[in-house]
A = this chain, B = another copy of it.
Amino acid sequence: MSVLVDGDTRVLVQGITGHQGTVHTVQMLKFGSKVVAGATPGKGGSVVEGVPVFDSVEEAVARTGANATCIFVPAPFAKDALLEAVDAGIRLAVIVTEHIPFHDMLVMFHYARMKGARIIGPNCPGIAAPGQAKVGIIPNVVFRPGRVGVISRSGTLTYEIVSGIKEIGLGQSTCIGLGGDPVVGTSFVDALPLFEEDPETDALVVVGEIGGSAEEEAAEYIRTHLSKPVVAYIAGHSAPPGKRMGHAGAIIARGRGTAQSKVSALEAAGAQVARFPYEIPSLVRDALAARHAK
């Protein structure tokens, strides 16, 4: 078992005919994902990398049984793409697109939730369960099947960390990149219970950033609900207050959301907090050893 995706996940790629859509369709296929359909208005009937393309999501779902979507369409059209997917009955949407206005995302989030659909992202690398399926853009090379779950707000930093886990001979059950935008469809507290319940996951890596309070909320959840060991890392210790560090989410404001506040909360919740990314793999190994020794 894995989290949210598995061998039965049938992936639709919205925006498959764009450059990124095509490139990552190839990568998803190489990973072993069942990419069953693409959707691009006006491009119905074409084929991209062996994947049939439809004009509408409704048609793609009807014809291929797609049950998850990976959205690459440009920001001004992302809201429409998500609504189309949700209305067509898709219940898992990974939104890779960046720069979606948060006012759009508010509507997307609450609409999807109302209809029982889950969004991962936007501005996220997506989700991957080695040996099962990948919906998103995390490089295939960093993975190796295993029993470590990874949840991260970052993109490339996640690759760095996941790769580090692989380099010491461990592997991942599922890795979710939540995205770093101010409004994300799935936050740490939404993702943590999925890993807690996943019998294939023995330990968790939580990768946070300064800004917002998602890590503090995660800490509270870890403290009260999580039985599995957690290794955490927070990026942005050295970031100057008030400077924008790239992600819209990574702003320190009003004395909340600082790296120190997050680290303290996570430590108080019993998580092992790494000071640097390269410390994570060995902390995970130690946590797994301690868990198995019990």
Contact = CB atoms under 8 A, between A and B. Distances in A.
A278 B113 CA distance: 48
Contacts of A113: 114
Copies of this chain per assembly: 2
Interface string A88-117: 000000000000000000000010011000
Contacts of A110: 114
Interface residues of A, number: 3
Interface of A: 110, 113-114
Say whether chain A's binding surface is mostly helix, strand, loop, or mixed. Answer: helix
A87 to B, nearest CB: 14
A7 B113 CA distance: 34
A113 B111 CA distance: 12
Nearest to A111: B114
A114 to B, nearest CB: 5
A184 to B, nearest CB: 20
Nearest to A114: B114
A30 B117 CA distance: 46
A114 B115 CA distance: 9
A112 to B, nearest CB: 11
Rank and list the top 3 A-B pairs by shortest CB-CB distance, nearest first. Answer: A114-B114, A110-B114, A113-B114
Contacts of A114: 110, 113-114
